[in-house]
Amino acid sequence: MKKKYIIKALVSRIAISIFFTAIFIFVTYVAFDKTINKYASIINIVSVKGRGKTSDSPATSLDTATKRLIYYPDYGSKFATMKIPEIGLELPVYHGDSLKIMRYGVGHYAGSYFPGEGGSIIMPAHNNEGYFHEIDRLVKGSKITLETTYGTFNYEVDSYKVVKETDLDAFPIQDEKEMLIMYTCYPIRYGVIGRRTERYVVYSYRVGDDNA
């Protein structure tokens, strides 16, 4: 009987310890989550700078008759600059969307079209500060500019939504209308530890520019 009482008391103490430890971890995370993310972003940026940079894309041009590039950028090369004044964003854009490439800026999914080709352009970026950290502030009508090595293209935000990372229908490849699809991990800022399984997607359409 005494042995059973000791075991019961021991189990109770362990349960109480686990309970208070869980509360401590939760409170600490809530209190320092913003700081943790901030320093994680700094570490990410420092690691990027320490790895040098990818190469610039060789000169190319757009065949307006066929709506196709005459020469395509090399995989991993920079071919554009994305500018979103509304959120103070200006980032280099690289052909390719590997994690290594996206350490430097915005990626471009190789299976999608290029600006000016009249189809879906898919561009992901990390949700760290200085990357797509604030694209959820964009609203319908927000302006986005892509300054490529062969021309400047303007887009206007039409809609946005949160999707599962496995929802391929959220990233349609079509050539009926030029559409810029930007996305990043969601939740964008705080509240999730570890891998994020959702994506915040912004859909924009091309509007009048010098190349239209």
Long-range contacts of 93-98 (CB under 8 A, 24+ apart): 93/123, 93/146, 94/54, 95/57, 97/122, 97/124
Backbone angles phi, psi at 116, to 5 degrees: 95, -15
Cβ burial of 44 (10 Å; 0-12, 13-18, 19+) is middle
Q: With beta carbons less than 8 A apart as the criterion, state whether 173 and 160 touch.
A: no
Show which residues are catalytic: 126, 185
